[in-house]
Amino acid sequence: MKVGIIGSGSMGAGIAQVAATAGHEVYLCDTKPEALKTAKEKLQKILNRLVEKGRMDDPTAKAIFGRIYFMNDFKNFGDTDLVVEAIIENLEIKQSVFQSLEKIVRKDCILASNTSSLSITSIAGACEHPERVIGIHFFNPAPLMKLVEIIPAIQTSTEVLEKSRATIDSWEKLTVLAKDTPGFIVNRVARPFYGEALRILEEGVANVATIDWAMTDIAGFKMGPFTLMDYIGNDVNYVVTETVFKSFYNDPRYKPSFTQQRLAQAGYLGRKSGKGYYDYAEGATNPGPIKDEFTCQAIADRIVVMLINEAADALFLNVASKEDIDTAMTKGVNYPKGLLKWADQIGVANCVKQLDELYDLYREDRYRCSPLLRRMAKANQTFYA
């Protein structure tokens, strides 16, 4: 199988490594020569490091690197079987790239987009053969993250869906199937992890270190929301939140936070700028957590129940199966437990009670309980047997 990749940035280069490691010949193209050069050097460095660490022998690494062909355009993509696009997140540009690509590739070539937030259907809609267009959403860094969301557009043929999923499964990835809706599974269900933490901060319930501590030490997450937002970058995270909010026709559940917007405006982007919710300057002192058990338990419960509500609503609206929703969150963003499994452990009726208490207090649509949770609580049901 020959795989074409358009865009050699963080994602494109990572996907190229994955495909070449799976034994495919890979054509990696980027319009910017310096981006291509960086990708080439980065890939060589990563493969060298794998050899140094004993994770791979030298001939294997050389063979993987030798299977990747670097090029400045996709005019040689005529014999590819699958093309994954990983360029800038802009619908018009992606549509135009897909239209040009269609003139070059074979009729049976699958055209995939790695977009995080654009509608696959709208990309397919610009194509002459929309049935061969699909979303194949890798997570960053692609060689390390197991999860891949597979998103058929409404025009995608069953054959293209099955072939794409089987191909990615054969690359030793874990695939989940998601409906073409904003944020797919992970970027939709994870919103309250940031949004509710920010809301708690804005209300003055606790400082960032305390909220982070509650989420790591009480709820069991690998990283607290503010530490994670500082890693992702407050500019990037803010734009994703804003895109999801707009895509949901301003559903208050996804409303971005002024705190995050202000940080982005100030250039306090997180680790990459040296300052975000925390100060990363050498010798800087950051206020520590106030480990008050009652407050911290309440914080952890509130964020977790909002995440569960989001997961339940995604299931209610058939975005994905319950198994895929739980897999997506444990393998895509390393959550300590699947959220629906977590709901069973807490008790569905208990989740409804907590959500209703929040709703009663705030009278905001943001805290509305998913009809699925309410229906299940009434019938005394659980997500898993």
Ligand X SMILES: NC(=O)c1ccc[n+]([C@@H]2O[C@H](COP(=O)([O-])OP(=O)(O)OC[C@H]3O[C@@H](n4cnc5c(N)ncnc54)[C@H](O)[C@@H]3O)[C@@H](O)[C@H]2O)c1
| Footprint of ligand X (CB under 6 A) | 6-12, 29-32, 35, 86-89, 97, 114-116, 138-140
Closest distance to ligand X from the beta carbon of 268 (Å):
20
Pairing of strands 82-85, 68-71: unpaired
Is 137 catalytic? The answer is yes
Closest distance to ligand X from the beta carbon of 83 (Å):
11
Closest distance to ligand X from the beta carbon of 34 (Å):
8
Residue closer to ligand X by CB (options 41, 57) is 41
Cβ atoms of 119 and 126 closer than 8 Å: no
Closest distance to ligand X from the beta carbon of 251 (Å):
21
Residue closer to ligand X by CB (options 135, 289) is 135
Residue closer to ligand X by CB (options 89, 217) is 89
Secondary structure, 3-state, 34-88: HHHHHHHHHHHHHHHHHHHCCCCCHHHHHHHHHCEEEECCCCCHHHCCEEEECCC
The residues that bridge with 149 in the sheet, in sequence order, are 137, 176
Q: Give me the catalytic one of 116, 119, 164, 237.
A: 116
Helices (H), the chain: 10-21, 33-52, 58-66, 91-102, 120-124, 158-170, 186-189, 191-202, 208-213, 225-232, 234-247, 258-266, 293-316, 322-327, 339-346, 348-362, 371-378
Residue closer to ligand X by CB (options 98, 342) is 98
Cβ atoms of 270 and 233 closer than 8 Å: yes
Residue closer to ligand X by CB (options 87, 299) is 87
Closest distance to ligand X from the beta carbon of 301 (Å):
30
Is 116 catalytic? The answer is yes
Is 149 catalytic? The answer is yes
Which residues neighbour 362 within 8 Å (Cβ) at sequence distance 6 or greater? none
Is 157 catalytic? The answer is no
Report the catalytic residues: 116, 137, 149, 187
